[in-house]
Structure 1
């Protein structure tokens, strides 16, 4: 990319840059300005100015792009797969003041973590100066999770005969971004997802809220199939599991980031016991496998990074936070 496309979003840092002018404003003007600052943000950004050409890996790549453009909706081009340089940081991203996430919108369909060292919204600037610059430490933070062959944190796929089936065969994929005063949401519609002998449609809805680190995930399959699942990548660190009356969680904690040197990260996934047939260890992740259904299944996932501003610094505090959320879920069916 030869040019940097900076998106028109109001950030906390912009107010601090106009400190002298702000001092001249009356109280009503200041309150109005503060309320205009979004508390959550989601986006999907595509390259423009280039063309699709044959690539060295046997699939096409988007070359010669001059800038990125945010879109509210995206239907994936037929050529798109991993590392085609078409979508900025490879899929949709979403964040609040504490944490950010992104989903690889291709066959991998894993969810990654952006660890944040600032409480400003940063995603509009991530990856603008190079495809994978976000893998390196920056003042705002960085990509901190190595997903590998797993679903990352809270991604989804299907287990068949102890083998993970991602989204290698999908007829059509559409994504929609919604930002409101109360949350930000990514809606994804997978049409014709083929796994084994089954061909289904799958709706996914991912929602982040102004406070706390969690994302709410909702999956709605068009056909009741066995093996639909989510999970947390296994990096051989401490594992926690706890069940309540109606909800449970699994979690990992330890030195498991891409930061240099690697530091501590906690990851957790909350799920309804009556929606799950099994929780077990897979080849690459700790799995939560859902019962066959055409109803919407709901779960939450979260990440707590050691370097987060005013964040959780110890495993003991991480588990306390999870227990508090589990108690809320079992009491009110809501994590808030």
Structure 2
């Protein structure tokens, strides 16, 4: 327990470095776009590829992979339905219902989920989080687009334009790594060391990005929105609690239960802001939702990490 607590404390302290760097103008607001691009297009794909190809394929790994894939699909389908009921119950303005639903349903298992999972539970858990993230990317650019447009009509822009965003570098690296894992292929020693070294940058870089994001957000004005606070707490506390209760009694692998529950505990996916802007929805609200859930996760994620570690003995 102490080891996990120390790891999580170090990880989240890195976000504090990013926050201070932003306030000191060492990393101004405009730098975040470049940092995220470096993270999502270079360092995180490298980390995923070496972590996945470094595993040994077993019968348990194969069956657990299928469980995570199916479980994640079910999570998003149920989440989409439940989030619709929640926004109706809270009497959210119809124009913003889709954005609030996206804040509720999507999870940042990408640049925040990968490094935190790796630090807390190791490469095996990272592999399954990457599997879960593949489904997230498919969801975001299919049902997620329908969700964010809830209450309005959306013009279909063609299959190619719909599918293209799913093929981002993290998804491609995860898919390539899984193919290599299942085919029994390994990276050459030199290439493996090179990519591993680049991938090792991901953990501190991702949390510095989180800190810069928080530093550039107007938190005081955001916390004056009680509905957004309620939605954020549902996202970070109720979602993982309900997921844990739903999967813990099922005959699934222990790692499957851990990943499905842990993935549900992460804040809103950053890409929701870009999707809202692209679809001409309330991107400011989306940005506030991402900032607030990320801020709250600084408190909720360490607690959930320790509880899951203690319960599953990891």
Q: TM-score range by the shorter chain?
A: under 0.3
Bigger Rg, structure 1 or 2: 1
Q: Under a length normalisation based on structure 1, what TM-score does the superposition of the two structures give?
A: 0.25
Which structure would you say has the larger RCO, counting Cα contacts within 8 Å and 6 or more residues apart?
Answer: 2
Structure with more of its chain in strand, by fraction: 1
